[in-house]
Amino acid sequence: MIRKANIKDIKAIHGLLQDYGKKGELLPRPLSELYDHLRDFSVYVDNNEGEERVLGCCALQFCWEDLAEIRSLAVHPEYLGKKIGSKLADAALAEAKSFNIKKVFTLTYRPKFFEKYGFVKIPRSELPLKIWGDCLLCVKFPDCDEIAMMKEL
C-alpha cells in the first residue's frame, strides 16, 4: 500500500536513504531535512499482523509553479524486483499531475529506470538555479555525477 508519510515513518525513510547513500547509489539526506520535507514523501508499506513496515519511499518536491522533482526514491534491498519503486514513481507522477505540474525532473544514478516513464536525459544546466541550493550542501559538489532527466506531463 502507498500512502503519504507520517512522522513515525521518518526513521525508516532515513535508514533506507542512508543504506543507499553508503553504497553511493543515492544522496543521503540528514534526518533534520527529512522532518522539514515530510509532506513531500510517500511510502510503500507492508501491513504484517497489524504492524506497518516501510519497504520504500519517494519524495515529490515542488520547485516552481510548473516544475517538481522526484527525489529520494528507495526500496528496501530485500524487496527489489517487486515493482515497489515503479509504484512509488507512478504515485509521484500522479500527484504531480493532480497539482497541474507540467514538468518533473530527477537527478539519478539509474537513468534506465526513469526512461521507462518517459524521462529523457538533459544537461543539468537546463534546470533552474533554484534547485542548486540543495547541491551546495552535497558532499559531491561541485563534481556532481548524477544524471539529470526531465519528463513533460
Q: Which domains does the chain have, with CATH numbers?
A: 2-152 (3.40.630.30)
Report the percent of the chain where pLDDT is more than 70: 90
**Contact of 1 with 44, CB cutoff 8 Å:** yes
Quick check: pTM over 0.75? yes
pLDDT tens sequence across 120-144: 999 987 887 656 556 555 555 556 6
Question: What residues contact residue 82 under an 8 Å CB cut-off, 6+ apart?
Answer: 75
Whether residue 30 has a cis bond before it, omega within 30° of 0: no
How remote is the C-alpha of 133 from its chain's centroid?
17
SS3 146: coil
Please tell me what DSSP assigns to residue 125.
G
